[in-house]
Structure 1
Amino acid sequence: MMRILFLSLFLAGCQPLLSQTCCSGGVPLSNNLGLPNEGGGSLTLGLNYDYNNLNTLNVGSDKLDDDSRLRNTNSLLLNLGYSFTDRLSVESLFTWVNQTRTIAQFGNENFTETTGLGDAVLLIKYAFPEVLGGSSVLNLGAGGKIPLGKSDLTTEEGVQLNADLQPGSGAWDALGWMSISKNLGFRPSATLSGSVTYRYTGKNDSYLNNTAVYEFGNVLQANVGYTDQFLLFNTVFNPGLIVKYRKADSDEIDTTTLPNTGGEWIFIRPELLAKITPALTLSTRLEIPIYSYVDGTQLTPTLRFSAGLSYTFKKSTVLNP
């Protein structure tokens, strides 16, 4: 009985803060999966910086004229990928995250910041070439999210911060991933591609000093895009335009659905890759929301930018699948 009373008081007291939350405000794990298979025996290292700005307050799909709330997430993402054969590969993603939240009301400003190691991802992938005819590849992957990051950080007063501000989730998740691409016959340098990622979230059994169980909502993300290629200053450039759909279910605490969590988003993402050398690639992305529907009242993404470098080490002798 005391536990139920405590949780009820906690949820009531946090209601003003929960309206600031957003299930698009954390570490961008799904956005950064899908390293290419560069051939058997190849090792790819990638380092990316991701900036996510949330300064748009929505009720459903309606934007409110209110700029008193601001969320920023800065992430460093380390990708490691190894190809055992031309078809079988493994990929891992390690994260470091800095999150800030600013609430300015009635002449006062409340600022909260968290920094630390985030969760990691391990994904095993297998490629099926020519599923849609020549110059096409279907990739399937399965893996999980490993809860390396802390999920029990507190304020200076000793109050544990909300789950959406923690560097880690405190839960193991299951991940499924699929991508497909095909070169277009009328223009051999152009590629049409799509990908789907589904994250089935686990439960954090030690939330609020082991007094509650917290579960982020399951997440579905789908991308479809067009990329091309051109040569300029002896450098190969790959411009692309991606449309991204993301759906997140509502979070739960002790099987009780939390208000102001969950929603659907559509983004448009222009991106540009440059092959500085055959092994070194520079990539940049700009992600802009074109549609947002949130459950209740939430801060929702305003702008996202990422940039990074990847380097591929190849064996002199390529293994056959």
Structure 2
Amino acid sequence: MKNFARFLVLTTLFFGQLGFSQTCCSGGVPLSNNLGLPNEGKGTLLIGLSYDYNNLNTLNAGSNKLDDDSRLRVTNSVLLSVGYAFSDRLSVESLFTWVNQLRTITQFGNETDTETTGIGDAVFLVKYAFPNLLGERSTISLGVGAKAPLGRSDFTIPQGIQLTADLQPGSGAWDFVGLVSLSKGLNFRPSATLSGSFTYRSTGANKNYLNNTAVYEFGNEIQANLGYTDQFGLLNTIFNPGLIIKYRKAQVDQIDSSNLPNTGGEWIFIRPELSANISQNFVLVSRLELPLYSYVDGTQLTPTNRFTVGVLWKLQKKKIGVLN
């Protein structure tokens, strides 16, 4: 009887993925998207607080957009980033999250909403910088760390059935995270910087999935960014506009070591950014992310637009050891 119940749950999940075209790799908490605090020098503490809105209202089959707006996913996230530099080379960074996810399905004039809210997973990194390795005004930084499963992964609907992994605030698994970032000031324009980053996330397995009846593993993920930023002054304020091209690839998810349909894919985004230095130690940041290309495995919801706004504080030690 227990084996039959397990089979029924997994079968329901399988056909639910096909019928509702859920997305397990485009929604959720934007962890990799918000890593990479700079090293501002020995004794500097950076604190960032931001709000991230991710709207998924585009249904794709492969790279083809389908004429179907009956499915909607919205993810609202609050992100807290904390970084500290022990020296001009060695620093640590952490990212803590709170997430609200809403899925709306419209059929025959009726709407069905499914919503979860809670603390999400967190990331902890140790980073080491190599200044001037590519010439003056250049920095290469390497980071390694882990994503810790702080968020819940066992929310259920009122009928007692556990929600699928893509709607849970947490993943229920430890992941390995690696980061390489670089920046280079441009000689022909001293105020401009060319930057790039590469993030790799090797996912672990949630062995307690669906009330301990299955093992779930999100697909491994890579993300690469290439960007150009500049600087100008206006109204006694320094502004930093930028333009980023982002590539993201997620492998298919697995359940009990079997590939899960309608998960995984590749995306290319364009991301205009703008920050404003309100004071020497206080910065307002904003960015808009729009898809240029999407290819998903099977049929999935894929991002329509994403917007992030936040603030960044920089606290530095004086020689007497007091935070300024």
Q: Same fold (TM over 0.5)?
A: yes
Give the CA deviation at 1:109. Answer: 1.1
Give, in whole Å, the separation in 2 of the partners of 1:12 and 1:81. 41
Letter in 2 for 1:193: S
1:221 aligned partner: 223
User: Partners in 1 of 2:290 and 2:14 — Cα distance?
Assistant: 33
Q: Tell me what 1:107 maps to.
A: 109
Equivalent residue number for residue 64 of structure 2: 62
Percent identity of equivalent pairs: 68
Deviations 1:186-226 (A, max 9, x none): 00100001000000000000000011000000000000000
For 1:9 and 1:286, how far apart are their aligned partners in 2? Answer: 39
In the aligned structure 2, how far is the partner of 1:170 from the partner of 1:163? 9
The answer to whether 1:295 aligns with 2:301 is no
Alpha-carbon distance, 1:96 to partner: 0.1
Partner of 2:309: 307
Q: Deviations over 1:249-304 (max 9, x none)?
A: 00000001000000000000000011000000000000000000000000000000
Q: Would the aligned equivalents of 1:39 and 1:318 in 2 still touch at CA under 8 Å?
A: no
Secondary structure at the counterpart of residue 279 of structure 2 = coil
1:154-183 superposed Cα distances (whole Å, 9 cap, x missing partner): 001111001000000000000000001100
| Matched letter for residue 275 of structure 1 | N
CA distance in 2, matches of 1:18, 1:64: 14
CA RMSD across the alignment:
1.4
2:287 corresponds in structure 1 to 285
Q: What one-letter code is carried by the residue in structure 2 that aligns with 1:206? A: N
**Unmatched 5+ residue regions in structure 2?**
none
Partner Cα separation in structure 2 for residue 5 and residue 114 of structure 1: 26
Q: 1:75 aligns with which of 55, 74, 77?
A: 77
Report the Cα offset of residue 60 of structure 1.
Answer: 0.2
Q: Does 1:95 align with 2:97?
A: yes
Q: 1:189 to 1:58 in 2, by over 3 A?
A: same
The one-letter code of the counterpart of 1:260 is N
Question: What is the match of residue 167 of structure 1?
Answer: 169
Alignment of 1:266-285 (within 5 A): 266-285=268-287
Instruction: State the TM-score, normalizing by the size of structure 1.
Output: 0.97
Post-superposition offset of 1:5: 2.8
**Alpha-carbon distance in 2 for matches of 1:69, 1:38:** 44
Gaps of 5+ in 1: none
Identify the residue that residue 26 of structure 1 maps to in structure 2: 28
Other structure's SS at 2:36 match: coil
